[in-house]
């Protein structure tokens, strides 16, 4: 009887895991996301994004020093947003962006960083703009960060972290009613990582970073930006981060800069097909 109970429990657990898996758009990778709903992730994301912006130096488009940078970030974000949405709708993935409330903001900070939270909440720091150099460079970073959101990497990490902690209120989390649970909120803070030090954030896996590189190149290509700018950007980023005490968060989990650039070069023929197919503009 004891063995039968164990067998039933394992069978139910495996069944739950299988039912909690989905495919990532574009790469078709199977991922486990079932311990938290996308709606719940977005609720936490929107709250943290608004809180961060309320306490940060958000750059207005009329700012005399950084206004043009903010305009450029918003412009590139709008183009990639449209390209991504068109692709998802045309390929029957429209549910991925259900509930999205896109925002593209620039914050005054010397950090070499940018991020996109679940639900399309994007932030660029002014410190990374000179490394981006131009719109194509911003498109490299924008595509990569939006890819993390579209691939639901945050939700995937959250589900794995909850499973590792043996969270019992899975049903409540999945149903989207556990926002006030402090354990969940603390974990979300580590996953989303807004306004925290690199060491306090649960990082993307190398698999997720590589996936975001691939998707990001294709997203920028769909928006009409030449993906060859990707290799040039990451070369500049590697040079800019050499003297940093800690690697920028955007670089923190990738094996090496050289490996990243090498992999990107291998992806270039595929990305260029999208660029040519969608009528490259830059």
Residues that are catalytic = 145
Token pair recorded at residue 158: 């959250």
Token pair recorded at residue 209: 């970073």
Evaluate whether 145 touches 116 at the Cβ level (below 8 Å). Answer: yes
Quick one: residue 59, left, alpha or beta (phi over 0 = left, psi -120 to 50 = alpha)? beta
Residue labelled with tokens 């794995």 = 160
Give the phi and the psi of residue 155 in degrees, each rounded to 5.
Answer: -65, -35
Q: How far, in Å, are 87, 89, 149, 151, 154 from residue 97 at the CA level?
A: 11, 9, 9, 10, 14
In terms of DSSP bridges, do strands 121-125 and 103-107 run parallel, antiparallel, or are they unpaired?
parallel
Burial of 171: CB neighbours in 10 Å, binned 0-12, 13-18, 19+: exposed
């Amino acid at each position: 009887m004891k063995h039968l109970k164990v067998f039933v429990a394992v069978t139910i657990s495996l069944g739950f895991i299988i039912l909690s898996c989905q495919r990532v758009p574009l790469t078709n990778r199977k991922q486990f996301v079932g311990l938290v709903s996308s709606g719940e992730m977005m609720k936490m994301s929107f709250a943290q994004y608004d809180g961060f912006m309320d306490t940060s130096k958000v750059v207005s488009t009329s700012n005399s020093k950084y206004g043009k940078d903010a305009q450029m970030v918003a412009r590139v974000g709008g183009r990639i947003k449209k390209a991504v949405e068109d692709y998802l709708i045309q390929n029957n993935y429209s549910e991925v962006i259900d509930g999205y409330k896109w925002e593209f903001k620039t914050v005054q900070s010397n950090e070499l960083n940018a991020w996109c939270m679940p639900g399309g909440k994007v932030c660029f720091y002014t410190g990374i703009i000179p490394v981006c150099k131009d719109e194509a460079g911003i498109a490299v970073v924008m595509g990569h960060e939006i890819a993390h959101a579209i691939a639901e990497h945050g939700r995937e990490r959250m589900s794995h972290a909850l499973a590792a902690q043996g969270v019992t209120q899975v049903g409540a989390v999945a149903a989207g009613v556990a926002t006030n649970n402090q354990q969940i909120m603390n974990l979300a803070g580590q996953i989303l990582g807004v306004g925290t030090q690199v060491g306090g954030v649960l990082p993307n896996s190398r698999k997720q970073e590589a996936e975001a590189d691939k998707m990001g190149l294709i997203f920028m290509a769909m928006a009409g930006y030449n993906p060859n700018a990707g290799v040039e950007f990451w070369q500049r980023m590697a040079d800019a981060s050499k003297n940093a005490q800690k690697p920028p968060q955007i670089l923190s989990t990738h094996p090496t800069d050289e490996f990243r650039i090498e992999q990107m070069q291998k992806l270039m023929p595929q990305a260029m097909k999208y660029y040519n197919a969608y009528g490259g503009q830059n």
